[in-house]
Structure 1
Amino acid sequence: MTNIQWGIIGTGNIAHQFANALQQLDETTLLAVTSRQLSSAKKFADEFAIASAFDTLDTMLAQPELDAVYIATPHPQHFAQAKACLLAGKSVLCEKPMTLNKAQSEELVALARKQGVFLMEAMLIPLFPAIAKLQQLIEQGTLGEIKGIQASMGFNAPRDWSSRIFNPELAGGALLDIGIYPLTFAYMIAQSAPLSIQSQVEKAVTGVDLQSSIALNYSSGIIANLSCSVGHYLPCTACVFGDKTWAEVVNFSFGPSQVIIRDQMGEQLEVINCATEHSSYYLEAKHVNECLRAGLTESPLVPHQQTLAVLDMMDSLRAQWQLTYPGE
């Protein structure tokens, strides 16, 4: 496979960013787009010089030259759309969370393996050079024995209770929207699922989670303290604490540019620059292209096991909060 031909489901902000990224890649064609409203699909197609615009997914999937599909729709639509793509033999990059719960993603993973088709959750954290550098420092023993993890992410969403952020019909709330990032970071550093999960939550008037704090305990002795919110700002910062030094990564889920090493008193020891000239979506699209050209059906950086493990934690948290979404 040389030239890879993509389709996009959805025409929102992240679809625009991904389309821009695809246009920067060699031997890559944005072939088609689909949206519930044909007018939206045509407008998107005109903006990015896309050959075909559709208002039904089946019509787009019927294009024989289509290789891969990027799913950029609200959370509840991911499962059915990804399943249709896999059944049509198309590779899938699906926005996070890949599905509402672990059971749905398990079904998709099993189907992808049966079909021999590539499937990946669009989780950006493992693709950043700064995160790769952090993992290398941990493996080299620079931090010593890892004892703790902290990660947070939050923003103050306008209190429009009918918006996607707060709408249970669209699987709103902080956890699935941004809490998935601290949970994924913790999983990557601890390299295992936790022994126990404890949490506190404040719910919005619509019943979805407004903010939460999460404590994870691991068999290795690591303790992770995580937080997420759509009710107020929280710094998008992750820290890994060792018994020698500790590391701080600012904007860990957006595109970190450096890793800061500090001593046990918090004094700065070293700043390691890991900036990249490319956008997060460029790194993501490039990685998927490389996987497809290598004939892979699973990303080595965003493996299915990680996606399922994080969804399992989110299922456990929602069970604690007695939060289920319509249709689950």
Structure 2
Amino acid sequence: MTIKWGILGCGHIALQFLRGIQPSNKGIAAACAARNFEKAKAFAKTHNIDRAYESYEALASTPEIDAIYVANTHNAHFETVKLCLNAGKHVLCEKPLTVNANQTKVLIELASKNNVLLMEAVWTRFLPAIRSLQSAIQEGLIGEVVTVKADFSLNRELPTTHRLRNPELAGGALLDLGIYPITIASIVFQNAPHSIYAQCVLDDETGVDQRGFYTIDFGQGKTALLTSGYTQAAPCEAVISGTKGHIIVPHFLGAKSYQVCVQGEAPQVIDLPFDEGHEFCAEIEHFHDCLENGLTQSPILPLNKTLEMMQTMDEIRRQWGLKYSEELEQATAVSH
């Protein structure tokens, strides 16, 4: 069976999804939709997609579509995914799944009610290098892991309307960039945080977090020191320290390798590359495998882990006093 995909949102991230699905023999991009119909038609024509729809609702109600990839901005994820789940579609939604944990709970309930697969598209978790890294840690290669340090930052001049700076689009470094350092800490330690201490520098013009600093205690002396921002130039890497050595993961969110440094031994580099443009291949193939096996949750990224991540980011925003509009934060199961 070939899985027919619909794409909601026709921007840059949707293009990455198309590149990721092209090598697959299990799924094809069959339709797309955008709030701007002309944009959807142009996207379909450029990328040889059979049909463009004039609205999200029209695509979601199409019987021929099996699964939907949600690729619009953060602020629209909750309502868009809700629409798709209520239409009985399987959904792969770009991270973050929602703006807050209450919205995530609603979507989890809807996915269960409709017996469909729902998965957050955190591509990092599915990469071969990250899967190998997890195994190396679990096997005790560097002893007991005690500390994770990670940063993902950009240093760009961005207009106030840009999605990273715009509170109406659920902007800020945390939900877009900070989710990656928090993810690598979650991958390493696996359990939920015991406590969180967070600080930030707010954007003078828009009020969102432009730089964030998160110290997360995972219990038993295990700590993550994490940073992200869109106004700082910093190395994008993760350093995982244990009682026998440490592991360095360059560009950890898109990891192609990692270096193992065990005390008293020569450093060892583990290379597990993927082709440029195929960053999303692993997560897409995993989604296909879940569907083939009749699963409604991913064993790699189950929904309770997505919820845990959202609860962590909720707590960080609470400490900062950073809230979005009431409309953006609402979490009702009924569409409005």
When normalised by structure 1's length, the TM-score is 0.96
Query: Are the counterparts in 1 of residues 142 and 262 from structure 2 also a CA contact under 8 Å?
Result: no
Aligned to 1:251: 251
8 Å CA contact 2:181–2:227 kept in 1: the answer is: yes
Task: Provide the C-alpha distance between the structure 1 equivalents of 2:319 and 2:263, rounded to a whole number of angstroms.
Answer: 35
Runs of 4+ deviating beyond 3 Å: none
Q: Is 1:298 aligned to residue 297 of structure 2?
A: yes
Task: For residue 55 of structure 1, report the CA deviation from its aligned partner.
Answer: 2.2
In the TM superposition, what are the counterparts of 1:104-143 in structure 2 within 5 Å?
Answer: 104-143=103-142
Alpha-carbon deviation of 1:309?
0.7
Asked whether the equivalents of residues 260 and 268 of structure 1 are also in contact (C-alpha less than 8 Å), the reply is no
Structure 1 counterpart of 2:332: none
Distance across 2 between alignment mates of 1:303 and 1:57: 26
User: Take 1:27 and 1:259, find their aligned partners in 2: how far apart are those partners?
Assistant: 30
Asked if 1 retains the 8 angstrom alpha-carbon contact of 2:31 and 2:52, the reply is yes
Q: What is the distance in 2 between the residues matched to 1:220 and 1:303? A: 24
Measure how far apart 1:23 and its partner are. 2.4
- Asked if residue 269 in structure 1 is aligned to residue 267 in structure 2, the reply is yes
Distance in 1, matches of 2:182 and 2:242, equals 19
User: Distance between the aligned counterparts of 2:26 and 2:116, measured in 1?
Assistant: 20
Correspondence 1:1-328 to 2 at 5 A: 2-205=1-204, 206-254=206-254, 256-263=255-262, 269-277=267-275, 279-326=278-325, 327=327, 328=329
| Alignment gaps of 5+ in structure 2 | 330-336
Higher mean displacement: 277-286 or 241-250: 277-286
Q: Please list the CA deviations of residues 236-291 of structure 1 after superposition, one character each: whole Å capped at 9, or x if unmatched.
A: 2112110101111111112x1211012459x8521111123371112222111111
* One-letter amino acid of the structure 2 residue matched with residue 301 of structure 1: I
Amino acid at match of 1:122: A
What is the identity, as a one-letter code, of the residue corresponding to 1:127? Answer: F
CA offset at residue 77 of structure 1?
A: 0.3
Say if 2:93 and 2:119, in contact at 8 Å, map to a contact too: yes
Unmatched runs of 5 consecutive residues or more in structure 1: none
The DSSP-based 3-state class of the residue aligned with 1:76 is: helix
Question: Aligned Cα RMSD in Å?
Answer: 1.4
Which amino acid is 1:292 matched to? L
Look up the SS of the partner of 2:233 in the other structure: strand
Shift of 1:27: 3.7
1:130-170 alpha-carbon deviations (Å, 9 max, x no partner): 11111111111111011111111000121412222101000
| 1:226 counterpart SS class | strand
Determine the C-alpha separation between the residues in 2 that align with 1:86 and 1:159.
Answer: 34
Instruction: Report the Cα distance in structure 1 between the residues aligned to 2:35 and 2:273, rounded to whole angstroms.
Output: 38
**What TM-score comes out, normalization by structure 2 length?**
0.94
Once the two structures are TM-superposed, the CA of residue 171 in structure 1 deviates from its matched residue by 0.7
Q: Number of paired residues?
A: 325
